[in-house]
Amino acid sequence: MVVEKGNNDYKISLYKVKGNYDCNDASWISQNSKGAKWLNQYWEKYGDTFQSYPFDIEVISYLMDTNVWSGYYAGEKAEYAMGAPTIELFCASYKETHPYNYIETIVQSGEDPYGDYARGYGIRRSPNPERAFGSRIEMEPDDFNGIYIKSDSTKVSTMWIASSAIVHWNVMNANAIGSISAGDYGGENGIRPIVCLKQETQLEKQKDGTYIIK
């Protein structure tokens, strides 16, 4: 399953990835994905034991597979592309723009209704150590030109985030009403490819506040 740039299908059900994507186990991400550092908290706590939870690992691997998403960059300006940001990448960016009211993550375990233990990310507003970590947090739509959440749901209302949530079998997402939450990977959510530019690549700011690659 390779997604090409220019495809007008802005959303995908990750359920369709099951059985149509070759993913061996969790070690694939840590050893081969250039974006693996953005799941650093997970590797530190669980390492490759994530493979015990194949419902999550296969779809997360797909979103992070730099081969699948390579069509979203060309030339020598970028290093790689992924299909969606991880929650660690999302929050690292958000902390840069909201240093006094940022979002932080933690990897934890929780028991689902079936008695199985889920392994995934919890999130909370900070700095406030008394607030508990959960699987949902409210945000402001269209903040910073909508780089985090867009209120326009004409094409899609929810965007995938490439991280497992503490809720078993769920993947994190950002939705147009203004929140990060957890959702079943069978839902048809939007993709938001992330392109990592090379360090020496220069950007030029435009009058409308956007940037172009020089």
Q: Is residue 149 part of a domain?
A: yes
When pLDDT is cut at 50, 70 and 90, the band that residue 75 belongs to is: low
Biggest CA–CA distance in the chain, Å, is: 55
In-domain check, residue 94: yes
Range with lowest mean pLDDT among 80-89, 107-116, 149-158: 107-116
Is the pLDDT at 9 greater than 70, yes or no? Answer: no
Q: Number of folded domains in the chain?
A: 1
Q: Is residue 60 part of a domain?
A: yes
**Residue 115 lies inside a defined structural domain of this protein:** yes
DSSP state at residue 116 = P
> How would you class 101 by CB atoms within 10 Å of its CB: exposed for 0-12, middle for 13-18, buried for 19 or more?
exposed
Residue 117 lies in a domain: yes
More confident residue, 151 or 2: 151
Q: Can you tell me the distance from the alpha carbon of 18 to that of 13, in angstroms, rounded to the nearest whole number?
A: 10
For residue 189, is it within any domain? yes
Residue 72 predicted with pLDDT over 60: yes
The side-by-side arrangement of strands in the sheet containing 188-190 is 11-13, 188-190, 158-164, 170-175, 179-184, 137-138
* pLDDT for residue 200: 87
Q: Establish if 164 belongs to a structural domain.
A: yes
pLDDT at 172: 92
pTM for this model (two decimals): 0.86
- In tens, the pLDDT along 149-189 reads 989 988 889 999 999 888 777 889 999 999 999 888 888 89
For residue 47, pLDDT over 80 is answered with no
In terms of residue numbers, what domain contains 82?
11-213
- Is the distance from CB of 121 to CB of 163 less than 8 angstroms? yes
What mean pLDDT, rounded, does the chain reach?
81
